[in-house]
Structure 1
Amino acid sequence: MRIHGKFRELEGKNEKALIAYVCAGDPSFKETKEIVSALIKGGADIVELGLPFSDPVADGPTIQEAAHRALDAGMNPDRYFELAASIDADVPLVCMTYYNLIYKRGIEKFAKDCADSGITGIIVPDLPAEESGELHAACKGNGVDLIFLVTPITDDERMKMILGKTSGFVYIVSRLGVTGARADVASSTGDILSRIHTDVPKAVGFGISGKEQAAEVIAEGADAVIVGSAFVNIIASGENVTERIETLARELKEACQIKD
């Protein structure tokens, strides 16, 4: 399923989307498949399947450690696409990774490998939209969405340019800094949502870890919430992982229901 199709489906149900991130290969190939299944069973509408990189500059310690565990367990781009292709999912899968891995594999090949393995979108946090022409063209040619990020300090002119390039959804970084679970919603969230004028769904991430935060972000006008570190923390604990992943996903998805 393509990302836009999922958002249309949810609109018909009067729901917003839960986008869940996990790092492929953490803690293993087999367990990642089980974790993704638990996320979907719990209600995740889109799964971000991280392709680990040795220097994940946009990620905080939680996801950095997940990437290192995955790399130590043998995850690499070949295994990543094998894993993605083996996931029997009725939700869109999105690759979040860093440009070095895409460039090294070959931009056209990477986009084609995404399409062939069931990956429907790519997020590249260290690739400026101004320098994305080649990857943008490769993604468009292979039917893969290229998703860009905006932050609280993105000025209006640059935001307009980014919104003209992004597809699938726009990734709204709710606070400055790196990823990681927080206890509150950034005060800048409502402001940045009010500045974004686009038909592309607006997904808010960085710091959301619980049901109350997710509900607050949805109430501010988001079309989706993105949750990563809270799931990765469960994986890192090694305790009742799939059960707890499913429970958290279900709680977060409840916050995405629109109340009359």
Structure 2
Amino acid sequence: MKSLTKQLKARQEADETIFVPYIMAGAQGLDRLADEIQLLTDAGASAIELGIPFSDPVADGPIIQEAGLRALKNNVTLSKIIHQLKQIKTPTPLVIMTYFNPIFSYGLERFIQDLAETNVLGLIIPDLPYEHRELVEPLLKESDVALIPLIALTTPKERIPELVVAGEGFIYAVAVNGVTGIDRNYQETLDEHLTYIQNSSDKPVLAGFGVSSKEHVDRFRKSCAGVIVGSKIVQLLSEGKRTEVKAFIQAAVRKEV
């Protein structure tokens, strides 16, 4: 069992709310990445998802797309991000979210080898189909990096157990049909869908896409282990609202007495 799976399962078994904030690496400049990771750690993040800027981010909504474009204008590359991550020490596990093209261009074997020198314990590749996971999975066998699967609302029910068994770290349950964003309307059947995934999985299931309020977090905690929050965090950071970021995470993970 990979370290990320162990750490998040321990939180799940302790009935803690697993909260994974997403940030776009380099959107505010790579020199601020360590400070942003520390901010999210201090706020109580269970893990931190780091987006890699890419020119064709098919799963990202406008807020994250704009952050990616800012990073690209700052000449942020995957190589520079990995170099920066090698200098950053944090107790909070890091998860890289990247499309396949940047790591293919970097070199798959080199990429996995370089991650071993960082605190990265998870990898999400949204445009890598399950049927093609063998492009990456064999390279991760001797690594402590977990390949995290995504399950969509449109994923056939009979396919879900196969995906969760193959996955490590956590199961990323996409809560909407479409791209990331805030103020999204959720289907009435979503809670049932999340419950089914969590009941099929021995790993934590986290709901993502559109999660932007404590009410969303409270709702999803009734059917799965926690949430991933991206656009809300990215927007607040882009506006310089660090205090609001910390307050949002702390309120989201706080247990009501």
TM-score, structure 2 length as denominator?
A: 0.93
Change (3 A) 1:188 1:101: farther
Following superposition, the deviation at residue 140 of structure 1 comes to 2.2
Contact kept in structure 1, 2:12 and 2:204, CA below 8 Å? no
SS of the aligned residue for 1:187 comes to coil
- Structure 2 distance, partners of 1:186, 1:112, is 41
Q: CA deviation at 1:20?
A: 0.5
**Post-superposition offset of 1:68:** 0.6
1:227 and 2:232 equivalent?
A: no
Equivalent position of 1:207 in the other structure: 210
Alpha-carbon shift at residue 233 of structure 1 (Å): 0.7
Label 1:64 to 1:188 Cα distance change in 2 as closer, same or farther (>3 A).
farther
Give deviations 1:108-134, integer Å, cap 9, x for gaps. 211222222221010000010101112
SS in 1 for 2:245: helix
State the 1:100 CA deviation.
0.5
Deviations 1:171-193 (A, max 9, x none): 00011000011255443321221
Checking the alignment, whether the CA contact within 8 Å between 2:12 and 2:225 is kept in structure 1 is no
Amino acid of the structure 1 residue aligned with 2:206: A
Pairing 1:177-188 to 2, within 5 Å after superposition? 177-182=178-183, 184-188=185-189
**Cα displacement string for residues 177-218 of structure 1 (whole angstroms, at most 9, x for unaligned residues):** 000112554433212213220101101000100111101110
- For residues 145 and 115 of structure 1, do their structure 2 counterparts lie closer, same or farther at Cα, with a shift above 3 Å needed? same
Query: Separation in 2 of the partners of 1:242 and 1:82?
Result: 25
What is the percentage of aligned positions where both structures have the same residue?
A: 31
Aligned to 1:60: 61
Amino acid at match of 2:220: V
8 Å CA contact 1:129–1:165 kept in 2: the answer is no
**Aligned residue runs from structure 1 range 4-23, under 5 A:** 4-11=5-12, 13-23=14-24
Counterpart of 2:210, as a letter, is G
Letter aligned with residue 80 of structure 1? I
User: Which has the higher mean CA deviation after the structures are superposed, 7-16 or 140-149?
Assistant: 7-16
Residues in 1 aligned to 2:165 and 2:6: alpha-carbon distance in whole angstroms: 19
Q: Compute the displacement of 1:34 (Å).
A: 1.5
Corresponding residue pairs, total: 254
Q: CA deviation at 1:242?
A: 2.4
CA distance in 2, matches of 1:62, 1:225: 18
**In the aligned structure 2, how far is the partner of 1:140 from the partner of 1:201?**
21
Deviation digits for residues 13-49 of structure 1 (CA, Å, limit 9, x no counterpart): 4312000100100111122222221111111111001
Residue matched to 2:118: 117
**Retained in 2: the 8 A contact 1:189–1:217?**
no
Give, in whole Å, the separation in 2 of the partners of 1:85 and 1:37: 15
Give the letter aligned to residue 224 of structure 1: G
- Tell me, yes or no, if the aligned pair for 2:8 and 2:170 is still in contact at 8 Å: no
**Are the aligned partners of 2:9 and 2:204 in contact in 1 as well (CA < 8 Å)?**
no
Deviates more, 1:148-157 or 1:179-188: 179-188
Query: Residue 181 of structure 2 contacts residue 210 of structure 2 at CA under 8 Å; is this kept in 1?
Result: yes
* 1:173 alignment partner in structure 2: 174
Amino acid at match of 2:246: E
Matches within 5 A, 1:76-91: 76-91=77-92
Give a deviation string over 1:151-185, Cα, whole Å, max 9, x none.
11100232232122211011000110000112554
| TM-score under structure 1 length normalisation | 0.92
Q: In the superposition, relative to structure 1, how do residues 108 and 202 fare at CA in structure 2: closer, same or farther (>3 Å)?
A: same
Q: Is there any run of 5+ residues in structure 1 with no aligned partner, and where? A: none
Match for residue 249 of structure 1?
Answer: 249
Q: Matched residue of 2:159: which SS?
A: helix
Superposed CA RMSD: 1.7
**Corresponding residue for residue 219 of structure 2:** 216
Alpha-carbon distance between aligned partners in 1 of 2:174 and 2:9, rounded to the nearest angstrom: 23
Partner of 2:97 in structure 1? 96
Whole-Å separation in 2 of the counterparts to 1:49 and 1:186? 28
